[in-house]
Structure 1
Amino acid sequence: MIRITFRQLEILQAVADCGSFSRASEKLHLTQPAVSMQIKQLENLLDMPLFEHAGKKIRLTEAGNVALRSAGIVTRELNDLEQSLANLKGLRGGVLTVSVASTASVFAARLMALFRRQFPDVEVSLNVVNRETLLRHLTENVSDLALMGTPPEGYQLSAQPFMDNPLVIIAAPDHPLARKRAIPLKRLLEEPLVVREPASGTRGALENFIRERQLPFKPTMEMNKNEAIKHAVEAGLGVGLVSLHTVQAELTSGQLSVLDVEGFPLKRQWFLVQRDGKRLSPAAQAFAELVLSKGPSIMAAAETKTG
């Protein structure tokens, strides 16, 4: 049996992440010779080189990539053990990592705040990312759970809807269409259209809606954040599509208005998503239960405050 230590696997992961022995030593608060020695010992145990030099940089060999994948599995299993033990202690500890689509950041922060009040000893991490990164977090097991719009097909994911997510067309308050009613879609498409990047769920929903009506989808400007869309629309650069949940404050203050367009709002839902077959830690299970039971009421309370 190969007697590899967890410390050696931890150092392997750090060197692979940092791309150098010196940066890994700083990250781990070790000397560079100590890091080099541990990697050398690991290579001797495996009887294969794990890194190779490419100019001034180092990169994993094929054996190194195999070892790194195994190190990740071992780390996740030990984390699962830690979480299971935390459950026996009544969630007095443990780690929770949640990734959320940027459009969900408003209510996700409120949910996380409520969770922290109930379980103050759990170490939490909330990653607000775009849809593409969120899916990578799920498939690579970086996150325990995710909050997002409809997950795409072709991924091994389990999803539970927990709240409606109406998508609306916004414009500046002085926009010519702001006081119109039942605006035809064709008329709307005469305006400059500000949308999210191609991988975005909201953009996909709008694109499908327009093309199902056999109309051309021709966005004028692309933004990678909802805040950028709101600022662009407020500045008069066009009209945009956003989740109604992301513009409550701007609607209340009069900075933006929702256009009355035929067929809108688009009916979508928010989903709680995890990898198929993933064993949720006690902390993740508690957060999932919180989302499913409290999500809609928390958002309703927030909208009442801003309304």
Structure 2
Amino acid sequence: MLHVTLRQLQVFEAVARHLSFSRAAEELHLTQPAVSMQIKQLELNVGLPLFEQIGKKIFLTDAGNEVYYYSRSIAQQLAEAEAVLGEMKGVKHGKLNISVVSTANYFAPQLLALFCQRNQNVTLSLNVINREVLINQLANNEMDLGVMGLPPDGLDIDVEPFMENPLVVIAPTSHPLARERHIQLARLAQETFIVREEGSGTRSAMERFFLQHNLTLSTGMEMSTNEAIKQAVQAGMGLGVVSIHTLTLELETNRLVVLDVESFPILRHWYVVHRKGKRLSAVALAFKEFLLQEAAQVMQTVKE
């Protein structure tokens, strides 16, 4: 039977996450010797080394990786228990940990701001990350809720659509196609496209769309952000396919134009996601309901 303390697991989790004794000590407001002592006691209790040092860097051993997995799970369950018990006491505030893919960051702050205006005692953490990192967070149950455009297959998650996410073709205002109407898809095959990186939800939807229409997409450059794509398109380096939610400023200032292409926009949705069976706090449940009931209307009002 393991005789470990929650404090030991807390200290270990911080060291394992940072792979640094000093950064863990800073986060936990402890001295580095105190952190080292907790790790040594934990290793004695486990009976196996949890870290190994190579040069100036430390790495998790196989046993360390196992303990790290369980320490994170225990920490998450304790956080959920704290939230539930707080609600039973009638606590009117809470923490909300939200992760969104980078494209969703064009509208997420507005929705979160309105939610926080209505719930002023909520402490908010917003993480803007790429799709791959968000999927990893889902797999490890590291956030309350996520917002993404293309939910992954193979994960045991709860997925609900809350707002449309149309993908449109953009061009510089000087492009020959800018003033044409009912542009044939075959005409787009003659153009070069600036695309998002592999694994991006937008790129996957774009490639799937052209494949379904038996067209070969000519790609020029890959960009890791929507801002980079818009800048490249504006500079005349090619066309782009982006979410309509990313274009408010560019359309208002006539820097870019949305082309009138047959079968466009590609109709997708934004989804709110979390691990299936996760016991959401009252705050997380309230924000999820806010997204499902009001997000689309709120964003439509903003556009108008």
Q: Do both share a fold (TM > 0.5)?
A: yes
How far apart, CA to CA, are the structure 1 residues paired with 2:261 and 2:8? 60
Structure 2 equivalent of residue 51 of structure 1: 51
How far apart, CA to CA, are the structure 1 residues paired with 2:80 and 2:13? 18
Structure 2 equivalent of residue 261 of structure 1: 261
How far apart, CA to CA, are the structure 1 residues paired with 2:120 and 2:199? 35
Kindly state the Cα deviation for residue 29 of structure 1 after the two structures are TM-superposed: 2.5
Amino acid at match of 2:159: A
Amino acid at match of 2:136: R
Instruction: Output one character per residue of 1:79-122: Cα deviation in whole Å (capped at 9) or x when no partner.
Output: 00111123235553322111112111122111111121122222
Amino acid at match of 1:36: S
How far apart, CA to CA, are the structure 2 residues paired with 1:193 and 1:7? 53
Kindly state the Cα deviation for residue 161 of structure 1 after the two structures are TM-superposed: 1.0
**3-state secondary structure, aligned to 1:142:** coil
Structure 1 equivalent of residue 302 of structure 2: 302
Q: Work out whether residues 144 and 280 of structure 1, in 8 Å CA contact, stay in contact via their aligned partners in 2.
A: yes
How far apart, CA to CA, are the structure 2 residues paired with 1:27 and 1:87? 27
Kindly state the Cα deviation for residue 208 of structure 1 after the two structures are TM-superposed: 0.9
Cα RMSD after superposing both structures = 1.5
Structure 1 equivalent of residue 31 of structure 2: 31
Structure 1 equivalent of residue 271 of structure 2: 271
Structure 1 equivalent of residue 69 of structure 2: 69
Residue-pair matches, total: 304
List alignment gaps of at least 5 residues for structure 1: none
Divergent runs of 4+, >6 A: none
**3-state secondary structure, aligned to 1:194:** strand
**3-state secondary structure, aligned to 1:152:** coil
Is residue 289 of structure 1 aligned with residue 289 of structure 2? yes
List alignment gaps of at least 5 residues for structure 2: none
Change (3 A) 1:268 1:71: same
Kindly state the Cα deviation for residue 168 of structure 1 after the two structures are TM-superposed: 0.4
Q: Work out whether residues 167 and 265 of structure 1, in 8 Å CA contact, stay in contact via their aligned partners in 2.
A: yes
Structure 1 equivalent of residue 223 of structure 2: 223
Structure 2 equivalent of residue 139 of structure 1: 139
How far apart, CA to CA, are the structure 2 residues paired with 1:174 and 1:144? 45
Amino acid at match of 2:56: K
Is residue 193 of structure 1 aligned with residue 174 of structure 2? no
TM-score, length basis structure 2: 0.95
Q: Work out whether residues 167 and 243 of structure 1, in 8 Å CA contact, stay in contact via their aligned partners in 2.
A: yes
Amino acid at match of 1:102: S
**1:138-157 mapped onto 2 (5 Å cutoff):** 138-157=138-157
Q: Work out whether residues 101 and 147 of structure 1, in 8 Å CA contact, stay in contact via their aligned partners in 2.
A: yes
Percent of paired sites with the same residue: 50
Q: Work out whether residues 171 and 239 of structure 1, in 8 Å CA contact, stay in contact via their aligned partners in 2.
A: yes
Amino acid at match of 2:28: L
How far apart, CA to CA, are the structure 2 residues paired with 1:191 and 1:257? 16
Instruction: Output one character per residue of 1:231-258: Cα deviation in whole Å (capped at 9) or x when no partner.
Output: 1111111110011111022112211110
**3-state secondary structure, aligned to 1:117:** helix
